[in-house]
């Protein structure tokens, strides 16, 4: 089995592939101060929860935007499975032609998402990843990564509101019945959900204008399910896009 791991600022997402079949997914909270032993214990328990032993893991690929956690998770996998994970970075074949000012600046998560989208969808493609940040990536009709946009994530926006204002509370993020909120909580929900949906619609319109036509639009990330139903565009939800991209990258290197 191949273990694919995506290390984000908020969560560490794991998925195990038996050939091309995704057997399970799981999430851990990202902790920059956690040791490799702590991650090893958690990963072993997750595998056990899904009736797998660490001996079943034949190889591993990792993408990460948190370098300190990358080291700890690499060491954890090495201790558990006695293998050296393939870490997405310089020297790893991705098949992605990156056409931005400095290709080295492109985050591993955006690379994995783009590779997954190219493998699964008709191009050109717009990829929305709603995590700690909301990122919008663009792959043109030739499969070239052209760039994109980055905005604060929905939870990050909520945190800024609740921590930097005296009377705005922390709330559960879901859509209120009406855009026009009649109380503080519903007004905040409206701004977060409908406001983010409107931002995405606006960005998509401008991106498609620059591309010169319509694009396939795919969304991933924890809060996508709460937001994309309120967008005007037809957006495909793919929870495991980054893991699928990591599997594709692993195959290109093996």
- What residue ranges do the domains of the chain occupy? 2-87, 97-246
- pLDDT tens digits along 35-89: 999 999 999 999 999 998 888 899 999 999 999 999 999 999 999 999 999 999 9
| ω into 221 cis (within 30 of 0) | no
- pLDDT tens digits along 123-156: 999 999 999 899 999 999 999 999 999 999 999 9
Q: Is the pLDDT of residue 202 over 90?
A: yes
Q: Kindly report the pTM of this predicted structure.
A: 0.93
Query: Can you tell me the distance from the alpha carbon of 109 to that of 246, in angstroms, rounded to the nearest whole number?
Result: 9
CA nearest neighbour of 239 among 27, 18, 89, 92: 27
Say if domain 97-246 classifies as CATH 3.30.420.40: yes
Could you tell me which CATH number the domain at 2-87 has? 3.30.420.40
Catalytic residues: 109
């Amino acid at each position: 089995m191949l273990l694919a791991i995506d290390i984000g600022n908020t969560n560490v997402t794991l998925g195990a592939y038996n050939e091309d079949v995704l057997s399970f997914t799981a999430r851990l909270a990202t902790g920059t101060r956690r040791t490799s032993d702590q991650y090893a214990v958690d990963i072993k328990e997750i595998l056990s929860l899904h009736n797998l032993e660490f001996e079943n893991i034949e190889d591993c690929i990792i993408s990460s935007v948190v370098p300190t956690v990358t080291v700890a998770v690499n060491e954890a996998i090495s201790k558990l499975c006695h293998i050296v994970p393939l870490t997405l970075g310089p020297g790893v074949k991705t098949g992605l032609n990156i056409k931005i000012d400095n290709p080295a600046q492109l985050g591993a998560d955006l690379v994995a998402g783009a590779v997954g989208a190219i493998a699964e969808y008709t191009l050109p493609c717009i990829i929305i990843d709603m995590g700690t940040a909301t990122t919008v990536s663009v792959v043109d009709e030739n499969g070239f990564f052209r760039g994109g946009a980055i905005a604060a994530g929905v939870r990050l926006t909520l945190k800024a509101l609740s921590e930097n204002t005296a009377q705005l509370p922390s709330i559960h993020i879901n859509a209120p019945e009406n855009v026009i909120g009649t109380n503080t909580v519903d007004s905040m929900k409206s701004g977060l959900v409908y406001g983010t949906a409107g931002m995405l619609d606006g960005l998509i319109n401008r991106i498609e204008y620059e591309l010169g036509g319509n694009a396939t639009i795919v969304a991933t990330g924890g809060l996508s399910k709460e937001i994309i139903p309120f967008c005007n565009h037809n957006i495909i939800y793919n929870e495991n896009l980054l893991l699928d991209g990591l599997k594709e990258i692993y195959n290109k290197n093996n």
